[in-house]
Structure 1
Amino acid sequence: MHSHIDAFPDKQCGAGANDDDIASAETALGIQFPESYRSFLRKVGWGEFSYELLYGLGMDTPDPLGLVRNTLSERHEASPPLPLHFLPVMNDGAGNNYCLDTSRLVSGECPVVFWDHEQGNNQTPDVEAESFDLWLIELLEELLQG
């Protein structure tokens, strides 16, 4: 994953988050982050890849990309509200979110799912990738292909 981030030409990333930042965010949100997302947070904190904006943590995170703020907003202000076990990592620009389904955390990883706000509370979101790192690699490769 990190080599893909490093090689991506059109990016702006943060300086990274420390373990205290990550632990504080997990506590504030009441969920455990998968290892590949923790690694992303430690390395870059947040990211803008071409036009895609990934939420994150760290001292230099732009306010609109703050992970805790966006997660709480999606849980309490969005309709339908985001389930508590979902961690949004990227909005699609139309009110939908790519999320980590932390209820399915196994061996330190969980799938990335697509939460479509138009599908309502009882939806079964589509799995986009089996883990955050695989999802991010696929996203970066798609962006490179245009």
Structure 2
Amino acid sequence: MEIIEECNKRLEELYKFSNEILFLGESILDSRIEDLEKEIGYKLPEDFKYIIKKHNRIILAGTQVYGLSQELKGSSLDMIYKFEHFEAENPMPKFFFPFSPDGQGNHYCLDLSKITDEICHVVFWQWDIEYEDIEDVEVCNDSFIDWIDEVMIDWNLEVYNHDGSEK
């Protein structure tokens, strides 16, 4: 229950932003997430699943969390996963789940190899680095909701007010 409470707190913070800079996708009401888990062979962390089911795609002032839908084509979580693991020049380990781009070809990823208590770290995968040891990949946040706090909310509040005006 604690995870859901934390997720709802983060969502309430996101809801404070104006629709001028915030896009929230529709809810996922079918089994897409569970089907994706079966397809990739990993369970996704509870905080990620809860939030993505509430809002299938989130964009705040250019910072994006991908959604899961055929309508999104190449920007759908399943298609991004396939590309980054099977088609990219420097493929990710299968247990990294890319969920947000930085605009330079790099991704914030869930490290699905280290789920503990239904939560996992967020790492930053740089496409142009050939990692000798996977432990060299930068751990950014302890969880997806911590990532939302820092990257989506805090970093945007450094530049924008909740109404979308620049500071």
Quick check: TM above 0.5? yes
Q: Which residue of 2 aligns with 1:37?
A: 48
Which amino acid in the other structure matches residue 145 of structure 1?
E
Any idea what SS the aligned residue of 1:100 has?
strand
RMSD: 1.6
Which amino acid in the other structure matches residue 128 of structure 1?
C
Size of the aligned set, in residue pairs, is 145
Q: CA deviation at 1:144?
A: 1.9
Structure 1 residue ranges, 4+ long, deviating more than 4 angstroms after superposition: none
Larger Rg: 2
What is the CA–CA distance in structure 2 between the aligned matches of 1:82 and 1:17, rounded to whole Å?
27
Please, which moves more after superposition, 127-136 or 115-124?
A: 115-124
Which amino acid in the other structure matches residue 4 of structure 1?
E
The answer to whether 1:4 aligns with 2:13 is: yes
What is the CA–CA distance in structure 1 between the aligned matches of 2:80 and 2:16, rounded to whole Å?
28
Alignment of 1:87-126 (within 5 A): 87-122=97-132, 123=134, 124-126=136-138
Q: CA deviation at 1:58?
A: 4.8
Any idea what SS the aligned residue of 1:56 has?
coil
What is the CA–CA distance in structure 1 between the aligned matches of 2:50 and 2:64, rounded to whole Å?
17
Q: How many percent of aligned residue pairs carry the same amino acid?
A: 28
What is the CA–CA distance in structure 2 between the aligned matches of 1:58 and 1:41, rounded to whole Å?
11
Q: CA deviation at 1:19?
A: 5.4
TM-score (norm 1): 0.91
TM-score (norm 2): 0.81
Unaligned runs of 5+ in 1: none
